[in-house]
Structure 1
Amino acid sequence: MLRRSFLSGVAASVIGGAANAQLPPARLCPNFRFRSAPSILPWNRTTFTSKRSVNIVAIGFNLYGRWGTASWDISATNARLAALKALGFDAVRIAIDPTTALNGAQTHAQWWAVAQYAIDKALAEDLNVIADLHVALDGSQSTYRADQIEAAYPNGLAWAAYVNLLQYFAAQLAGYNNTEVCAEIYNENMQDVGGDWPAMAKTLWNAFRVKNLNTTVLVGGSSYSSVDGLADLLAANFDANTGYVVHDYEPGVLSHQGVGVYQPVSRLHYPPIFSEKAAALAQVLGNSSLTGQINNYFGSSQFDATTMNDGWLAAKVAVVTAWRKANGVPASRIFMTETGIHNDTDFRGASRVARLGFIQTKTRLHEAAGHSVGIWAWDGSYWALPSVNAVDADYQAALGLSGGIFYETEASALFARITIQPSAMRKALINATIKMLKDTGLWTKLDAFYMLAAADEQSARLNWKSAMGSLTKVGSPAFTVDAGFTGGGGEAKTAYLNTGIVLGTSTLFAQSSGHMGVVQSTAMTGGDQVALGDDNYNSGVGIGRYSTLIGLASPNGLTYSDRTTPDGTGHLIASRSVAGTITSSLGGSARASITDASAALVTDAGNAVQMLHAAGQMSRIAAAHFGSGLTPAEQRDLYSITKFCLLGVSRAA
């Protein structure tokens, strides 16, 4: 680790003398046209802003791709760039590898010609550009990896060469409109938190400003631009046209599973499913570091407050908020230019359902905090966006995008039954949820799927799976927009919802293969309660509360799974997939199975499945479903997909 004093100015050996003299003048391609004229810096804010960006890595990133305009034309065609704009992205972050200009393989002008071509092509499709000097972290480079450049600070050859190139880069960007192009001057540093990065960052920033006063400069914190590394930066050392970068991949054991030091880890789900902890630990036996990270990820129990779930991710975003407020930085100057999660194309990463949940949560939290949100990467070999020619509909919804979506047939049929048409964003969310249910094979196992947390009461009562089974109100169950229904009336059952579906009469739910699930957002209080079940509950089936136990009642009397939560909140699923066994899960985590023989279903015409009939005060239901029996893995996926939809409701105005 380097330990040197803080430099308030630019190192003379780098900025002055020969290094500065070698800089060629700024130039523009003869055919280049500005979208608009270069603007003058307003010193009280960043001139460049972006709501949503996507990384494109086709031009030589870590020398994995060919450095040239031809490779860019293959990856980033005009049609594909236009499609990104139509989807709702307003910027692309172009990862520009500086290696060929640093090692002498190309002159600065030759190197810049390729970068300029990529920038201009994106601008032509009305996409703003984050021009990112993406220093290699690994690979075959012998002199100009990040660790080697940083080791040469402040007077070594590699450091001087990088600063020299940075100044050339700054001079070229000065010709662009500074509302349309900004510069991320160093992708990720390898310095520990509390190390030398603040001095390095200040030196690089000063070097850029010598040649370019108007372009917004993006600077990341220590340790790979991590959230915690942001604390090393002091905003007073930079100007008001500086944005601050975070790359939010935390927790790394989840996002980087199957890669590098995390290679032994695979198939971690998000959010953490506590019942899968033992299998995850078995993957890393003998590796104390990974064992510790796995233990931290899952926590000590399903209800451990330190579990790395949505609340933990929110706390990391709160660290950024606290830093910016302490430094007087507005939220619009925070750029989260990278997040993502390793996929399972090589069977070592996370499942698609897990990736979607993680990406949705990360981007939603940063978006809510007012930060610019960037996703890694489009057209990468592994990470966030898998499609070659488009962004898949479920990823669009995860990212909060709603443009240019091709709706699933089943989604279109549902929209046709909705009286007041949902917003574009809500349609995207519904479409993505149905697509995920289909992709996982769960759609074919459902008799009914209800999303009661809806925009209006009519759409909340629809069965997504079929035109049959729309909920009928009995009495006056209370509806809350985007939250669901609350029943009441006790034994009199004067306020509840009726599906009209009688189990065992042309249903997938059968005597020895059936499941029920319900998401309750407020606590169960009072006496015995039935959240979802048939009217002949004592001899039929249902999911609810009996004494202190919450679970599935069997047809042969009241046999429940073990106690789940003290109040019954969360997503409870109970299932029978074989004649003598009932399995259940809460929040996707498997509970202990119980042995209980099945019996014939009660198929009287008046014995339809109902919601919210109870002997005491009933909780609010946000979602519910029933159908054929589900394995524990299917219960986990159904939980995750339902959660995906419920989280998306907050975006779907």
Structure 2
Amino acid sequence: MLRLAATLVALLLSVTAAVSTPPVLHRGVGLHQWLNWSPLATDGSYRWPPYRTVDEWLANDRPATDWPAGDPFAAIKALGFDFVRLTVDPGPLLATDGERRQEALAVLSEATKKLLAADLTVVFNLHSVTQVAQYGVDVINAPADTPESARYVAMTADVAKMLLPLGTDRVIFEPYNEPAHYPCDASGSDDWQTIMAETVATIRAISAEISIVVTGACGGSITGLTDLVPSFDDPNLLYSFHMYEPHSFTHQRSETEGGFASGLPWPASEGTPDSVVTMLETQMDIAGLDPAEQARNLQAVAPFIAEYFAEGWGEAQMVARVGEAVAWAKVNSIPTSRLFMGEFGAILMSADGRMGAFDADRRRYLAALRTDAERHDIPWAIWEYSNPYGMTVILPTGPAVPDAKMLKALGM
């Protein structure tokens, strides 16, 4: 009954609200290392107050002295980004309620204000992680009509109330990241459709004007988006998809500790299976792997190399895949400017050659995907601003300076 009431309120608000549109987004960057993985106390609970400070964030993966002086958020703006996709661990919010939750929300409000002060629009993304299991990714992947799902949906109302005073012209609320809810075919349930509709209704009961990023299931992929029925659509909704396809190229790394999986070219026509194997053999020789270790590595990656070249991935497949999202939007009378490529990227080859793509291949991939999104007027957010894992705008080691070649591939 309560869920039905929330839905009716949302429908009334959508009818009576003044016509408005979401804040205009163009080129953004994910900011993930600051407010995700909220620090834990020795007993495994969240440290309080929760979340890292700016100084803790900057010193987390590298010496703080690597960073230049000045406002780090103004530096993001100076690179040419007009918005930040700010990822936030919802765990401390789920672990609390009442006054305690309000304390956590106050921390997040002040953090958002720092970005707004740097003239950056903020996509505020609740981004579940695995750190504390009972408040992690299993919650958003729980079936509809479970206590876990209901608690999460109810929590989004408190977040919307916190964001509302910050300005609906500058802040967008993205309540989920990459929900699973597999399988992604007719054999799957409609649980995610139900959860997403209930979430929109819950937030709309707070405000008809705050913009919301809606995501599909299946890891937030294009398939998840096109499976979604936007029966709850209104002018202040954006529709997200993440594009890491082919995953075999964007996430080249071995599942085995110390393994080698790298060097697939983009597009596939730029190389051959033999050239990739030769490159891997050279890298393993340099690393000092004995013949038996090399043979095991090559045996592990051989099927993936063969599959990649058999599929012949290139720009035509990329354009077709993004085109599925575009076609879905048109069928549902949604302007493509309300699509949102919320994440994309590719791992840069590590110094030891164990993982990632050569820089030239990575840049070709990023340029092609970014260009295609912009051709459809789809705003995008590159993953991510700074991390030590090879998918980063800021170079992962040494002075914290931007990757100029990557920025050029992004048209900046």
What TM-score do you get using the length of structure 1 for normalisation?
0.50
- Please tell me whether the aligned partners of residues 243 and 333 of structure 1 are also in contact (alpha carbons under 8 angstroms): yes
Identity %: 27
Per-residue deviation, residues 168-209 of structure 1 (Å, max 9, x unmatched): 001111212212110111011011224332122111111111
What's the offset of the Cα at 1:364? 1.3
Give the Cα–Cα distance (whole angstroms) in 1 for the partners of residues 134 and 406 of structure 2: 38
- Please tell me whether the aligned partners of residues 219 and 243 of structure 1 are also in contact (alpha carbons under 8 angstroms): yes
Give the Cα–Cα distance (whole angstroms) in 2 for the partners of residues 50 and 259 of structure 1: 36
- Please tell me whether the aligned partners of residues 179 and 219 of structure 2 are also in contact (alpha carbons under 8 angstroms): yes
- Please tell me whether the aligned partners of residues 29 and 384 of structure 2 are also in contact (alpha carbons under 8 angstroms): yes
Q: Which one of the candidate residues 232, 240, 262 is aligned to 2:235?
A: 240
Per-residue deviation, residues 72-123 of structure 1 (Å, max 9, x unmatched): 7747985332232222210011101111221249921122122212210111
Give the Cα–Cα distance (whole angstroms) in 2 for the partners of residues 191 and 115 of structure 1: 28
Q: CA RMSD in A?
A: 3.1
Report the counterpart of residue 318 of structure 1 in structure 2.
323
Give the Cα–Cα distance (whole angstroms) in 1 for the partners of residues 407 and 84 of structure 2: 16
Q: Is residue 2:51 matched to residue 1:67?
A: yes
Higher helix share: 2
Cα gap change, 1:89/1:102 in structure 2, threshold over 3 Å: closer, same or farther? same
Q: Is residue 2:114 matched to residue 1:95?
A: no
Query: One-letter code of the match for 2:239?
Result: Y
Per-residue deviation, residues 47-96 of structure 1 (Å, max 9, x unmatched): 22210000111333234798133447747985332232222210011101
Cα gap change, 1:218/1:72 in structure 2, threshold over 3 Å: closer, same or farther? farther
Cα gap change, 1:150/1:362 in structure 2, threshold over 3 Å: closer, same or farther? same
Report the counterpart of residue 118 of structure 2 in structure 1.
125
Report the counterpart of residue 275 of structure 1 in structure 2.
272
- Please tell me whether the aligned partners of residues 41 and 47 of structure 1 are also in contact (alpha carbons under 8 angstroms): no
Query: One-letter code of the match for 1:386?
Result: I
Report the counterpart of residue 62 of structure 2 in structure 1.
none
Per-residue deviation, residues 617-641 of structure 1 (Å, max 9, x unmatched): xxxxxxxxxxxxxxxxxxxxxxxxx
Report the counterpart of residue 12 of structure 2 in structure 1.
none
Instruction: Decide which moves more: 110-119 or 276-285.
Output: 276-285
Partner SS state of residue 370, structure 1: coil
Query: One-letter code of the match for 1:215?
Result: I
Report the counterpart of residue 173 of structure 1 in structure 2.
163
Give the Cα–Cα distance (whole angstroms) in 1 for the partners of residues 2 and 239 of structure 2: 20
What's the offset of the Cα at 1:365? 1.2
What's the offset of the Cα at 1:285? 6.1
Report the counterpart of residue 155 of structure 1 in structure 2.
146
Give the Cα–Cα distance (whole angstroms) in 2 for the partners of residues 354 and 56 of structure 1: 24
Give the Cα–Cα distance (whole angstroms) in 2 for the partners of residues 197 and 71 of structure 1: 37
Give the Cα–Cα distance (whole angstroms) in 2 for the partners of residues 353 and 294 of structure 1: 19
Partner SS state of residue 54, structure 1: strand
Per-residue deviation, residues 316-348 of structure 1 (Å, max 9, x unmatched): 111111111111111110110100112233632
What's the offset of the Cα at 1:254? 1.1
What's the offset of the Cα at 1:246? 0.7
Q: Is residue 2:359 matched to residue 1:352?
A: yes
Name the larger-Rg structure. Answer: 1
Give the Cα–Cα distance (whole angstroms) in 1 for the partners of residues 339 and 401 of structure 2: 28
Q: Between the two structures, name the one with larger relative contact order (CA 8 Å, sep ≥ 6).
A: 2
Q: Which one of the candidate residues 170, 178, 185 is aligned to 1:188?
A: 178
TM alignment of 1:306-455, pairs within 5 A: 306-345=311-350, 347-382=354-389, 383-387=391-395, 389-401=400-412
Cα gap change, 1:355/1:41 in structure 2, threshold over 3 Å: closer, same or farther? farther
Cα gap change, 1:291/1:153 in structure 2, threshold over 3 Å: closer, same or farther? farther
- Please tell me whether the aligned partners of residues 173 and 213 of structure 2 are also in contact (alpha carbons under 8 angstroms): yes
What's the offset of the Cα at 1:398? 0.6
Q: Is residue 2:234 matched to residue 1:223?
A: no
Cα gap change, 1:389/1:185 in structure 2, threshold over 3 Å: closer, same or farther? same
For this pair of structures, how many residues does the alignment match? 357
Cα gap change, 1:181/1:140 in structure 2, threshold over 3 Å: closer, same or farther? closer
Cα gap change, 1:374/1:259 in structure 2, threshold over 3 Å: closer, same or farther? farther
Cα gap change, 1:166/1:277 in structure 2, threshold over 3 Å: closer, same or farther? farther
Report the counterpart of residue 204 of structure 2 in structure 1.
209
Partner SS state of residue 257, structure 1: coil
- Please tell me whether the aligned partners of residues 348 and 358 of structure 2 are also in contact (alpha carbons under 8 angstroms): yes
Q: Which one of the candidate residues 58, 66, 74 is aligned to 1:82?
A: 74
Give the Cα–Cα distance (whole angstroms) in 2 for the partners of residues 181 and 148 of structure 1: 25
Unaligned runs of 5+ in 2: 8-15, 41-49, 60-66, 281-294
Partner SS state of residue 122, structure 1: helix
Give the Cα–Cα distance (whole angstroms) in 2 for the partners of residues 135 and 400 of structure 1: 31
What's the offset of the Cα at 1:284? 6.6
Per-residue deviation, residues 435-482 of structure 1 (Å, max 9, x unmatched): xxxxxxxxxxxxxxxxxxxxxxxxxxxxxxxxxxxxxxxxxxxxxxxx
Higher strand share: 1
Q: Is residue 2:47 matched to residue 1:47?
A: no
Give the Cα–Cα distance (whole angstroms) in 2 for the partners of residues 202 and 11 of structure 1: 10
What TM-score do you get using the length of structure 2 for normalisation?
0.78
Give the Cα–Cα distance (whole angstroms) in 1 for the partners of residues 309 and 296 of structure 2: 14
